[in-house]
Amino acid sequence: MILITGATGRVGSKLVESLLRSGKQVRVLVRNSQKAANLQALGASVCLGNLNRLDHLDIALQGCDRLFSIPPNTINQAEQEIQLYQAAKRTGIRHIVKLSPVKSDPKSPCQFFKQHAIAEQYLKQSGIKFTILQTNSFMQNFLWFSHEMRTKGTLSLPMRDAKTAPIDIRDVVLVGSVIVTEEKHEGKTYNLTGPELLSLQEIAEKLSTVANQKITYIDASPLDFNQALIRSGVSEWFAKAVTTSWQIASKGRPTLTGVVTKIGRKQPITFNEFARDYEAVFA
């Protein structure tokens, strides 16, 4: 039995579907039963609970032997993850797979990256067998900007002319499904990337093709981007973390890896393929 946290999110929901299709027994820990209704209909066992409640964690983990942790971006994320891993050890979980960003760093100015790094360090020292899957960014993140692209014809991000190595969530799910069901990946950290290094200008050009209009990349200032996020309704700390994550990415030099091909045994999805699959959103 595999317990999945974060199962109603973008990665988690597709991971549950993938594992169920392959005949695996899956349990999900969720706060809202309505959000898990589709997963339950597919055959997942649903356990209502909260990552902040130790008793909920113990109940959800009981009878499971593997855990796939997809942590939420909360202000106390590391604390929640550590409690989850402590409960996993108490209940006899023998393998934990954690989804994390490749830029995780305990000294990072980005709250997301810092919290992930603290949780990673604890997991590595916990005595439980683990595998860490790190990603650069998701192609599906650009869906968040579809309204701006449709209405203004622009894509505004504080990325300067830096390149990124986005991966399609479907490839993350493919690799995650293999790793959580095989024994030979324990103790390893994998960096998952797509097949291309792309600048935001290049991404805007690719999206222009499926959008049937010219999409212009705008190198937004961090202040303007942060204020736009706050106006959209997110909290100030969250907006700051998102803005800082893009600023850090603007200074990075990602390296392409062959993890999807090696473990998933297929070529990773290209950005053009992603854009065509989501044409209805961008057009």
> Residue 139 pLDDT > 90, yes or no?
yes
**CATH: 3.90.25.10, 3.40.50.1580, 1.10.1200.10, 2.60.40.10. Which one for 156-161+195-282?**
3.90.25.10
Continuous segment of H or E residues that includes residue 14: helix 10-21
Lowest-pLDDT range of 30-39, 52-61, 83-92, 246-255: 30-39
Q: What pLDDT sits at residue 239?
A: 97
Q: CA-based Rg of the chain, rounded to a whole angstrom? A: 19
What pTM, to 2 d.p., does this model score? 0.95
pLDDT in the model for residue 34: 86
DSSP symbol at 167: B
Tokens 């949780």, located at residue: 119
Q: What does DSSP assign to residue 156?
A: E
Residues 194, 217: Cα–Cα separation, whole Å: 21
Q: Where in the chain is the domain with CATH 3.90.25.10?
A: 156-161+195-282
The 3-class secondary structure across 218-247, one letter per residue, is EECCHHHHHHHHHHCCCCHHHHHHHHHHHH
Count how many residues are written for the chain: 283
pLDDT in tens, 14-40: 999 999 999 999 999 998 888 889 899
Question: Which part of the chain is CATH 3.40.50.720?
Answer: 2-135
Which own/partner contact pairs does 9-15 have at CB distance under 8 Å and 24+ positions apart? 9/70, 9/72, 10/138, 10/140, 10/169, 11/70, 11/99, 11/169, 11/172, 11/173, 11/176, 12/70, 13/38, 13/39, 14/169, 14/170, 14/173, 15/68, 15/70, 15/173, 15/176, 15/177
**CATH code reported for the domain at 2-135:** 3.40.50.720
- Alpha-carbon torsion angle 154, 219, 233, 77, nearest 10: 130
Q: How far apart are CA 81 and CA 62, in angstroms?
A: 17
- Name the strand (E) or helix (H) holding 273: helix 271-277
Instruction: List, for residues 175-215, the tens digit of each pLDDT value.
Output: 999 999 998 999 999 999 999 999 999 999 999 999 999 99
pLDDT tens readout for residues 256-265: 999 999 999 9
CA distances from 200 to 64, 209, 251, 270 (A): 42, 15, 13, 15
Helix (H, G, I), strand (E, B), or coil: what is residue 212? coil
Instruction: Tell me the pLDDT of the chain averaged across its residues.
Output: 96
